[in-house]
Amino acid sequence: MQNRHRQITLAVTALFTLVQLLLLAHYGYTPYPDAEGYLHLARQSVAQGSLYPTLQQINHEPFVWNSGAINLVALSLWLTHSVTPLLVFYALLKGATVWLTAAVAHRLFGRRTALVTLILYVAYPANYGECTSVLSETPFIFLTLLAFYQALHGRSLMAGFLLAVAQWIRPFALVFLLAWAVYAWLRGRRRPILSMLLAYTATLLLIGGSCRLRTGHFVCQAQTGWMALLQYSVDHASAADTSLTLTPDSLNALQRNDLWRRRTLRWIADHPGEYLAQMPRKLIETYVSDNVNFCAFLPDKATSPYLYGPLSLRSLWHDLRHPTAVQALTLFNLVYYAFLLLLFLVAVAQNRRRLLLPAAVVALGTLMLLLVGHGEARFHIPFMPFIIMGAACYRRA
């Protein structure tokens, strides 16, 4: 029975990966706004002959973005003058992610739940098309799941290293480290927490130290959070100071980040009620939909002035009676997504202890987004493997 389960998992993983590659071959690259920003900075880095961020970029760009993700783009450009090899690599990572999701579920909940997790994951439409862009979600989710897989097998140092690399790619892996610490502490596995934390810290110190040797500045992750929180939290039209996000041209990216941090904390201290009142809106905007990846299938994505327009909730409602094929798929996905969220919430409510790790990831991640995020549907995507695991536990909760 165990061999048959392994064979089914590998066969489904292989088929899922093949579909990802076929979709990439047919639909090609998707020019998301952030992806285009990554490409621009990666090309600069290659031209300047250094890893991102270069000294010139620190001095002249407004902020430091997702360093690891941009360096992966730069590596592909440096080796092949194209991002296509990176997109193929991301398709393979997406395939490995479905295997890891099932493997983590198997370790946590058993063979049957792992099989249900696998089915729910590959049947979820939003899991297709992601590899057509160079956004950070694909490598980030792969690394966090691989870290949990290593941790569940007692390899805490490797898990800490992987989470640090994930943090370099997208500055959100700390949430997963904290979630694991909560899980391990409450399950009595307290000693490995320190090993994971040490490996995580040491790796980030090495990454930041490498940047310091190149540029004279210690940078180990993106530094956009304070700017985004200030930009989206303040009503700039009615604020007394309408230039809170503006900075002197003489400042470099790190100095700007420090200035934005001080301004944000001062604004929160002066407007605590407004800051707290925004959290319900942030929660809704984070979980209202899961439509982003369907931009990969839009026929005019290369020329569209607003890529997300046809798939926004307003457009879907307006075209409800006569949707396009992509809109129809998106509407089906919204129903599926709501179904997964409902099953997850019910399963967690019924058995919090059994679903401790998925619940910790989603709860701590959501709390972090409410405190320092600005509310965007993309932000919940790293939680989806754990939401699917929890949904798969519904019948056994």
Report pLDDT digits (tens) over 220-274.
999 999 999 998 888 655 555 556 778 888 999 999 999 999 999 999 999 999 9
Query: How many structural domains is the chain composed of?
Result: 1
Mean pLDDT, to the nearest integer, of 208-213?
98
Task: Provide the pLDDT for residue 240.
Answer: 52
Task: Provide the pLDDT for residue 238.
Answer: 56
Q: Looking at the predicted structure, is the pLDDT value of residue 81 above 60? A: yes
Task: Provide the pLDDT for residue 241.
Answer: 54
What does the alpha-carbon distance between residue 99 and residue 92 come to, in Å, rounded to a whole number? 11
**pLDDT-based confidence at 177, cuts 50/70/90?**
very high
Task: Provide the pLDDT for residue 4.
Answer: 85
- Enclosing domain of residue 246: 223-270
Q: Looking at the predicted structure, is the pLDDT value of residue 281 above 70? A: yes
For 327-354, the pLDDT digits (tens) are: 999 999 999 999 999 999 999 999 999 9
The answer to whether position 244 is within a domain reads yes
The answer to whether position 305 is within a domain reads no
Cα angle value 256/261/263 (rounded, 5°): 95
**pLDDT-based confidence at 118, cuts 50/70/90?**
very high
Q: Say how many Å lie between the first and final Cα of the chain, rounded.
A: 23
Mean pLDDT, to the nearest integer, of 88-94?
98
Residue with tokens 């470099």: 252
Q: Looking at the predicted structure, is the pLDDT value of residue 158 above 80? A: yes
Q: Looking at the predicted structure, is the pLDDT value of residue 397 above 50? A: no
Q: Looking at the predicted structure, is the pLDDT value of residue 49 above 50? A: yes
The answer to whether position 247 is within a domain reads yes
The answer to whether position 83 is within a domain reads no
The answer to whether position 349 is within a domain reads no
| Chain centroid, CA 196 distance in Å | 21
What does the alpha-carbon distance between residue 50 and residue 308 come to, in Å, rounded to a whole number? 33
The percentage of the chain sitting over the pLDDT mark of 90, rounded to a whole number, equals: 87
Q: Looking at the predicted structure, is the pLDDT value of residue 183 above 90? A: yes
Task: Provide the pLDDT for residue 244.
Answer: 77
The answer to whether position 227 is within a domain reads yes
The answer to whether position 233 is within a domain reads yes
The answer to whether position 237 is within a domain reads yes
Q: Looking at the predicted structure, is the pLDDT value of residue 76 above 80? A: yes
Residue-averaged pLDDT of the chain: 94
Q: Looking at the predicted structure, is the pLDDT value of residue 376 above 60? A: yes
Mean pLDDT, to the nearest integer, of 107-112?
95
Q: Looking at the predicted structure, is the pLDDT value of residue 276 above 90? A: yes
The pTM of the whole model exceeds 0.85: yes
